[in-house]
Structure 1
Amino acid sequence: MTDTILIINGPNLDMLGTRQPEVYGHETLNDVEALCTRVAAEEGVEIDFRQSDSEAEIMKWIKKGRGSTAGLLINPAGFTSTSIAILDSLLIYDRPVIEVHISPLFRRDEFRHLSYVSKAASAKIEGFGIRGYEFAMRKLAEWARARAGG
């Protein structure tokens, strides 16, 4: 295992900054990656930052990260309340998982309140904008250090 945190962003997150800025803010996915890169450097870990609109691709990344990454930060976006397949992949993953959402799901449409991902997550952070990624990164790094005995 390496001290790499796998960060997976789901569908349409490549449109951050332009898609519904009143809900998601004006920061872009590049801003999210820059934030995660900075936090990783501060915490002494690496990141593997990814985004896909493909459920199958996300599932492959989760399974590939099993045993080779220290933890997983996932913003499943539109797959949050629809993908049992991603849930099944997360249940196979053998390290901590933190689910992150930029906007608070409980303030959104009722169908968005259900999160299949939460059923496999160690923790969930929502409603803090892109800062939620920072919180999750720091906690995953802490858990990785504890696991390594340091």
Structure 2
Amino acid sequence: MELTVYLAGQIHDNWREKVKEIAKSKKLPLHFVSPQTHHDRSDDIGEAIIGKQPSNLYRDDAASSINNFRTQVLLSKSDIVIALFGESYKQWNTAMDASSAITLGKPTIIVRPESLIHPLKEISNKANVTVETIEQALEVIAYIYE
């Protein structure tokens, strides 16, 4: 049984590739989807589709509408959501994706370091599982196949 896993979280490093490598090494039958990870593509998509916008406000609004559409489709098709909260970047998109997943009733695993226990206590409480590493998140998923 192949499961689709939505990987929510910041796009500025290769954590998604690490998840895929670990899943492959464990021979887990998983298919991965995620937000647009090419930052410029994500920022430019509104103007690429709708056309030049009169200001940055409208440019961001057009891009966010299309990015939110993409996220909604991929989240709704996913079986599991892993939401990674790291220490290096603002986590607004991760929090939004995790909250949407929880609202949709998607089984959700929060990955967050010990330093973020307090600021993420409410969302961690709503998620199915909270762990500190991506390795632990994949162990949770591996348990499904035992």
TM-score normalised by the shorter chain: which range applies? 0.5 to 0.7
Query: Which protein has the larger Cα radius of gyration, Structure 1 or Structure 2?
Result: 2
Gaps of 5+ in 1: 16-27, 127-131
Letter in 1 for 2:83: I
Deviation at 1:136, TM superposition (A): 0.1
Q: Given the superposition, is the C-alpha separation of residues 14 and 86 from structure 1 closer, same or farther in structure 2, using an over 3 Å criterion? A: closer
* Normalised TM-score (structure 1): 0.55
Secondary structure of 1:74's counterpart equals: strand
Structure 1 position 38 matched with structure 2 position 21? yes
Query: 1: CA distance between counterparts of 2:98 and 2:11?
Result: 19
Gaps of 5+ in 2: 37-41, 43-63
Structure 1 position 73 matched with structure 2 position 56? no
Secondary structure of 1:104's counterpart equals: helix
Secondary structure of 1:51's counterpart equals: coil
Runs of 4+ in structure 1 over 3 Å off: 51-55, 57-60, 80-83, 114-117
What are the equivalent positions in structure 2 for 1:1-150 lying under 5 Å apart? Answer: 2-10=1-9, 13-15=10-12, 28-29=13-14, 32-41=15-24, 42-52=26-36, 56=68, 57-65=70-78, 69=79, 71-75=80-84, 78-79=91-92, 83=96, 86-94=98-106, 96-101=107-112, 104-106=115-117, 113-114=119-120, 117-126=123-132, 132-143=133-144, 145=145, 150=146
What percentage of residue pairs aligned between the two structures are identical?
Answer: 13
Tell me if the contact between 1:81 and 1:114 (Cα under 8 Å) persists in the aligned partners.
Answer: no
Letter in 2 for 1:8: L
